[in-house]
Amino acid sequence: MVNASRWGLVPRNVALLVDPPRGNRPAVQPFTPEQARVFLDAVQGDRLEALYTVALSVDLRQGEALSLRWEDVNLEQRRLSVRYALQRIGGKLQLVEPKTAKSRRTLALPAFAVTALRAHKVRQLEERVRLGAHWRDTGFIFTSSVGTPLEARNVVRHFHAVQARIGIRPRRRFHDLRHSAASLLLAQGEDLRGIMELLGHSQISLTANLYAHVLDASKRQTADRMDALFGA
């Protein structure tokens, strides 16, 4: 229909000839390495400690992190499989398919995330025993105090409250934990394609555009190292 309009074969619809405006992405505001350490220290012992640790260490979207069930992780082999995202649809929390085929992925867990998950599992079992018949056995890793899936808005409120308590400014979104993980890995020399696979991006150009600021800094560091070798 668009081509026929352009060629004059049908009455022209001028609206179809205009490129739609591109949506503005919120600015990426990853934690610095020091902020990430301070934040994780601040949530030690918290019910959501493992959630923040996993989100920060393996580049998960919030819905992906909240969708995780114990069957999705293998703590012995340090593997985590992203199969779904948790979303509220029609007033009900539901597991939905990931955004793209690339979003369905299996990730390696760093040892400190495995440690946090093991402690979280023990804490959850204690809550389950304490509540008895009042516990809702949903199979989710990250739950409310009665076993039901976590509400994203409640997690965000808690995340913002922790930041306010420890003085992190400007305030980060939960999604910035994902950006923090990618930025920190890139700064440590992880290749761009590896980051793309971790994030579940469908195209490497998306990853490159999103983290151009980190890549530019890495290039400058490479140039500085060359100066150290061959400079006067």
Which positions are catalytic?
61, 99, 178, 201, 211
Query: Distances from the Cα of 115 to the Cαs of 65, 119, 121, 148, in angstroms?
Result: 17, 6, 10, 23
Q: Which residue has the tokens 């340090």?
A: 78
Measured distance CA(89)–CA(138) in Å, rounded = 18
AA identity, residue 225: R
- Rounded CA Rg of the chain: 22
Tokens, residue 50? 């493992």
Element (H, E) at 227: helix 212-230
Render 53-87 in DSSP notation, one character per residue: HHHHHTT--HHHHHH-BGGGEETTTTEEEE--EEE
Count Cβ atoms below 10 Å from residue 203 Cβ, excluding itself: 11
Measured distance CA(80)–CA(73) in Å, rounded = 4
